[in-house]
Amino acid sequence: MKNHQVSMTEDRMSQKDMPNVTDIDWSREALHSLLHIVTDLDRLPKEYNAFLQPLFNKIKKDEGLSAAALEKCKLAFASWDGQEHNGLDELAIKRCMDLWLTIKGEDYPLKKALSNPANLVVQEVEVCDFVDKHDLRRIEFDSATGEPIENSLGNLIIEEVEAADYVNSSETSD
């Protein structure tokens, strides 16, 4: 990544201090260098994860880089599945999963699952307790103006009706 590397300080940079990766004209060589370090968390720390997807999209557009990326990911996946982690962190595998998905359009079928899939339910919550505790309420919008309705049930008319009245009236009208 030649001139595009940003050194990290001990206290880590904030995201606002990091360069916008989409504004940089990434050469093929720079993207190839990125592929060499994509699984190395010491050289490409987790703080850069938010900036990788646009670069993965650029890699996808180059056939040679795509092939190299898929090969790198296959090796990482084989190491992960074969219990030979070779120092690979789960975050490195997640990066490869993202890269694979970007290029192939489908997830790689890992034999050994990652520890925390994004859609895993970690905690069950009683909805009523959660709503009461956090003072949540439903917000509705006026269909004509698009403005929020302050008291959405304010004009609700509740009428008690005997079902027998309706049943009897429909029988006599036939």
pLDDT of residue 169: 59
Q: DSSP letters along 74-120, please?
A: HHHHHHHHTT--TT--HHHHHHHHHHHHHHHSS----SS--SS-TT-
The model's pTM is 0.55
Work out the number of other CB atoms within 10 angstroms of the CB of residue 39: 23
**Token pair in block for residue 52:** 């990788």
pLDDT of residue 102: 92
pLDDT of residue 3: 37
pLDDT of residue 15: 47
Domain locations along the chain: 2-104, 127-172
Low-confidence residues of the chain: pLDDT under 70:
1-24, 84-87, 116-139, 151-156, 158, 163, 166-174
pLDDT of residue 10: 32
